[in-house]
Amino acid sequence: MNNTLIIHSILLLFLWTASGICQTPDNTTLHGTFVDAEDGHPIPEVLVRVAAEKIERVYPDQEFAHATATDTKGTFSLTIPNENQIYYAFSLMALHPQYQAKRLRQEMSPRKRKYNLGVIALRRTLPLQGSVSGEKNVAGLVVNLKMHAKSADFFRAAAPIEHAAKTDITGNFQFTELYPIEYTLTISRNGLIIAFIESINPKKQAQVSVNLPKLRTLRGTVVDAQERSISGAQIHATRHTDTSYGHSALLSSAQTDEVGNFQLEILETETQLLSLEVSKKGYFSRVYENVDIGKMPSILPLKRGKSVKGRVILPQNISSDGQYIVKVFSIDAQMEPSLNPLVLQRPILSKHFPVTEFDFVVDGLFAEKYILYVVGDDISATRIDADASINPEQVRVVADQPTTTLQGQVFWADTGKPVRNAVVSRSWYPWELQPYDMSMTLDRFEVETDARGKFKFHNLTEAHYQLHIRAVHAVLASTTERYQRTLIHKQVEIPASGTAYRIYIGRRDGTPFTK
């Protein structure tokens, strides 16, 4: 090899090495081995999913975007991003159908590129075997297990909520892949529950025997206030839970015939746990609590409800395939906005109508006064007071005002730089809720700021809204080489009018907002 070629080779090697040093990707590699907690054997085919949590995110990242599987030795290796000033931790979820899911969380160092998680033991999922007796034909029964609603139970993050199986010709059934937690067990035939066990734990009870109890028969007639029979009325029998985490169950259902009669087969249940609901559209539902089947009256009366009729005028530029909603509130309902998820001034009922249908009817009301709101996409909320007791011919609702936006940009007060990944929650008005809304469904009133600190809420009625802004301020501690995170809060009140606002947050924050 001549000298020139040697020099060129050395130069290329230097440039390649220097390039490798300068362009080292900001990634982290995770290593580990999964073994059986009982015998220590390696577990192949474990699905390993990892979410890299960002420094500036208020909520941990629940999107496990990085995944791999263990090899025959139970070992895995996975590379995830670890760019400086972006990531501060990772969460690892291990999933295998024969083992209980496991979740680990590890804080990250900007300068650390390898994390050896060592040996991670997984516990096997549990079986449950059972048998059904008490009748000649016990084949094809549906056995259902439903996990108890214990929020502190970490298994709920990955465990299936429900399991189902069928009995064989001898009445035997079997479940696998269960967790050591409480389940409610029901056995049904053709939709009728014929056995109920409030709580069962496969860790404490691997075998269960169910002797089918006898069913009770309830007969009756549904009539109106004038004692005329009502056909097509629905009757539902429900067994309620006697624990704080168990599940209620719809035991049986029936419908009245053309002369208002019904017959219902009901699993024998403690009186204090059994209720009966009688309902039909246009009538007030009636609920009987603490039902003693032997003492139930044979005549079940329903009272017809009142109705409110109306005609609505909508904006001209809305989509022809859209809907508008008429929401009904009691006359004394507080219609102020709120940021508190526990303050739920929900509507009594809510009815949808196509925008091409201008006449509406809301029925099933008491003879009282109500507050009605007409809302919908691109329709500002419009209020009207109605009195169902006088049953007017028709109320006229002019709901032709379009909606607007609430938008802004969040900056750090100390540096003037935009705040990204800040969570901006806005208050909601009662007319924005549905009758079934709970606190866990109110995340639709939240957005995150983008890389420029901007946020926007669409389709709002022009009104004042409170904003609750949460941002993370992170500082890298030189001693531990880890980020110290501080959650900073701020509340402001801003009108929704399409104008963009500048909002400052931080220690030196003295400005509520500016246009």
CATH number of the domain where residue 110 is located: 2.60.40.10
449 SS3 class: coil
484 SS3 class: strand
In a shared domain, residues 382 and 430: no
Cα–Cα distance for residue pair 259/253, rounded to 1 Å: 18
Tell me the residue range of the domain where 457 lies.
404-505
Phi, psi values for residue 13, rounded to 5°: -60, -40
Residue-wise pLDDT tens digits, 54-89? 888 888 766 788 999 999 999 999 998 887 667 888
Asked if residues 373 and 381 have their Cβ atoms less than 8 Å apart, the reply is yes
Residue-wise pLDDT tens digits, 173-217? 999 999 999 999 999 999 999 999 999 999 999 999 999 998 999
pLDDT at 9 over 80: no
pTM to 2 decimals?
Answer: 0.75
Chosen domain end from 211, 244, 269: 211
Q: Please provide the distance, in angstroms rounded to a whole number, between the alpha carbons at the two ends of the chain.
A: 72
pLDDT at 482: 78
Asked if residues 505 and 422 have their Cβ atoms less than 8 Å apart, the reply is yes
Chosen domain end from 173, 194, 211: 211
pLDDT at 49 over 90: yes
Q: What does the mean pLDDT of the chain come to?
A: 88
pLDDT at 20 over 50: no
In a shared domain, residues 380 and 411: no
Q: What is the per-residue DSSP string for 294-361?
A: GG--SEEE--BPEEEEEEEE--TTS-TT-EEEEEEEETT-----B--TT-----SEEEEEETT--EEE
- Identify whether 9 is part of a domain: no
- Identify whether 188 is part of a domain: yes
Asked if residues 477 and 465 have their Cβ atoms less than 8 Å apart, the reply is no
Q: Which residues 6+ apart lie within 8 Å of 240 measured at CB?
A: 248, 273, 274, 275
- Identify whether 300 is part of a domain: no
* 254 CA to centre of own chain: 31
In a shared domain, residues 204 and 228: no
Task: List the beta bridge partners of residue 447.
Answer: 424
Rounded average pLDDT over 141-156: 78
Chosen domain end from 76, 92, 122: 122
Q: How many separate domains does the chain show? A: 5
Task: List the beta bridge partners of residue 145.
Answer: 163, 185
Task: List the beta bridge partners of residue 184.
Answer: 146
**What's the CATH code of the domain at 366?**
2.60.40.1120
Q: Which residues 6+ apart lie within 8 Å of 324 measured at CB?
A: 312, 314, 352, 353, 355, 374, 375, 376, 379, 399
Q: What is the DSSP letter of 445?
A: G
In a shared domain, residues 285 and 333: no
- Identify whether 255 is part of a domain: yes
In a shared domain, residues 192 and 239: no
